[in-house]
Amino acid sequence: MKINWKITKKRGNHRSSLNFHISLEPFEKELAIHAVCIQSLIPEISNSHQSFCLPHENERHPAWTPAAFHSISAPYFKNGEISGFIRLPFRSSGVYPEVKASFLLLRKKFEKIVQQAYGHAPVDTQDELDISQETRTLIAARVSAQKMLKFCA
């Protein structure tokens, strides 16, 4: 699984934006693994539709604590890729260690499932059954008897 992300922010009171793209490797698609979802460490913010946050409002208020966190997921194996956008809380530092930590959690959970699925080896068996020796002996005796009777007739 490849995870790419980019965090951007305009100058001023604008919030940062996280854009990410997750794609599965071909061998991961072939394993037919369902989409893995985690609760990330990235806090959900109020009024996330707004690209800005003024001082002392929402996450910039001194008493603000996150009430919920975003969910992120690996792509479904049939699609093989997923993209997403998350509006991040305003931070004057512009540092968001929880983004990388969240993607590491997702990767760890997904890789655990990949390892389990990879442990289920493929099966390609072929077998054959023929008439049993007991039936063959019984039929052979009767066929021989019929041939002898035809020969005598």
Domain that holds residue 22: 2-118
The answer as to whether 105 is a domain residue is: yes
The answer as to whether 72 is a domain residue is: yes
Q: Is the pLDDT of residue 153 over 70?
A: no
The answer as to whether 124 is a domain residue is: no
The answer as to whether 145 is a domain residue is: no
Instruction: Tell me how many degrees the CA angle 114-118-123 measures, rounded to the nearest 5.
Output: 150
The answer as to whether 102 is a domain residue is: yes
The answer as to whether 55 is a domain residue is: yes
Structure token digits, residue 93: 């530092």
The answer as to whether 134 is a domain residue is: no
pTM over 0.85: no
Q: With bands split at pLDDT 50, 70 and 90, how would you rate the model's confidence at 34?
A: confident
Q: With bands split at pLDDT 50, 70 and 90, how would you rate the model's confidence at 17?
A: very high
In the chain, the number of structural domains is 1
Q: How far is CA 29 from the centre of its chain?
A: 9
- Can you tell me the distance from the alpha carbon of 151 to that of 79, in angstroms, rounded to the nearest whole number? 73
The answer as to whether 97 is a domain residue is: yes
88 class by beta-carbon count within 10 Å (0-12 exposed, 13-18 middle, 19+ buried): buried
